[in-house]
Amino acid sequence: MGKKKETISLIDTFSEFNELKNIDKATLISVLEESFRNVISKNSGTDENYDIIINPDKGDLEIWRNRMVVEDDALEDPNLEISLSEAQKIDEDFEVGEEVTDEVSLEHFGRRTILNLRQTLASKILELEKDNLYNKYKEKVGEIVSGEVYQIWKKELLLLDDEHNELILPKTEQIPSDFFRKGEHARAVVARVENKNNNPRIILSRTSPVFLERLFEQEIPEIADGLITIKGIARIPGERAKVAVEAYDDRIDPVGACVGMKGFRIHGIVRELRNENIDVINYTNNTTLYIQRALSPARINSITVREEERRAEVFLNPEEVSLAIGKGGANIKLASMLTGYNIEVFRDIIDETDEEDIYLDEFRDEVDGWVIDQLKKIGCSTAKNVLAMGREKIIREADLEESTVDEVLAILRYEFEEDDDTDMDRETDIDADMELESDTDASKDTDSYVAMDTEMDGEMEKGEEENY
């Protein structure tokens, strides 16, 4: 009786485990049967003449053994054969040559075997559950999932899905303004599934561009139906994003469809992303036009695209530079990410005095190249651009230390002061030369004038004399 209870307890345990971890019934039965057959093989030498019936829902386990009836003095293998006298104890009608099927209890295998079997089953089912979890979420990479916040740690959140599987949301994959309390539900996209020592870790992300793409698919029917396609996404999580969309039907306005009436459709996405500003633009195969749209709301004068270098030089009026660059360089950074081109912004030269300006690249012997690149990113391509922008604005917009900015400004100011001093010296020399030439010319003019007067006087005297 004790063994029967132990058998039922054994099966009940794994029936509950099955319900908790959602392992399918057929797989569980297969694992259980395989484990029992291994025990039988070790104990009896073979399991071919055994039938195992398992009902994990009810905790039922039956083991049936099939043996051939032989004469009492001809019995050689008790596992495969049964003596006639033993067979007739089961049923008096049995005769030699017939097959007898009788039930075998777990008592037949011994208590230690049963305990080992229990441990083996626990280990196998746990491994099976891990494999199923890994495979399940491996297929969900790139999909949005939801989980309840179960634990809050310094570097990550532990979430539980509907089946109590553990999901990890690292701090690095959270939007900077994300704040979750225990018991709240959080949505994120499955970024990757790691499997170290057969221990799966499901890593989620709320900062991935894929998360934004899936939100668009959920909120905008035309995208879900395939009428509008997302051609590209660039994000600075929690700050700003740019999404390029294209419609297969010319009658559909892809931007208007994504934004919705008064922004109704996109507002839900913005709230989910903690008020992240989202720019939706029309995609085009025209590279120049695509870059122009990506830099909106800035108005572009002209664009020079260098395909080999994947670089674009954008020229615009000085008042448009700040719009093209954006706060902290966000707009130009996103435009570069979206289009795949390294975009450089240049002010169009309007004033003729700017012709005396010097391009920053000419200062690479005195200023580090990466510093010049940072200045170019905020629209300063020449020395006068930098000086005109001023110290405070450069510090605010460029990723440079104050001391670095001060050093650059000093170098540029010195360059122009030196030019001014040279010009002043040149002007002084010119003035001196002009004075000297003026004095010489004046002497020559005086001499000529005196000689002319003398000649005229002589001629007059001579004439007078002749006439008179």
The answer on 130 and 9 residing in a single domain is yes
The answer on 74 and 165 residing in a single domain is no
Can you name the residues that pair with 302 across neighbouring β-strands? 315
Range of the domain at 89: 2-134
The CATH number for 151's domain is 2.40.50.140
Considering the entire predicted model, what is its pTM? Answer: 0.65
Residue 95, in any domain of the structure: yes
- Res. 383: pLDDT tops 50: yes
**Mean pLDDT score, 232-236:** 97
Q: Please report the pLDDT score of residue 22 as a whole number.
A: 57
Give residue 231's region: left, alpha or beta (phi > 0; psi -120 to 50): alpha
Instruction: Single out the residue in 88, 115, 134 at which a domain terminates.
Output: 134
The answer on 81 and 61 residing in a single domain is yes
**Confidence category of residue 385, pLDDT binned at 50, 70, 90:** confident
Residue 396, in any domain of the structure: no
Residue 291, in any domain of the structure: no
Q: Please report the pLDDT score of residue 200 as a whole number.
A: 94
Instruction: Single out the residue in 180, 207, 234 at which a domain terminates.
Output: 207
Angle in degrees, CA 191, 194, 200, rounded to 5: 115
**Rounded CA separation 216/241 (Å):** 13
Residue 444, in any domain of the structure: no
Here the tokens at position 262 are: 């008064």
Q: Please report the pLDDT score of residue 11 as a whole number.
A: 53
The CATH number for 81's domain is 3.30.1480
- Res. 61: pLDDT tops 60: yes
Instruction: Single out the residue in 167, 185, 207 at which a domain terminates.
Output: 207
Please state the domain count of the chain: 2
pLDDT, tens only, 282-304 = 999 999 999 999 999 898 999 99
Closest Cα to residue 394, out of 298, 322, 316? 322
The answer on 67 and 94 residing in a single domain is yes
pLDDT, tens only, 184-202 = 999 999 999 999 888 999 9
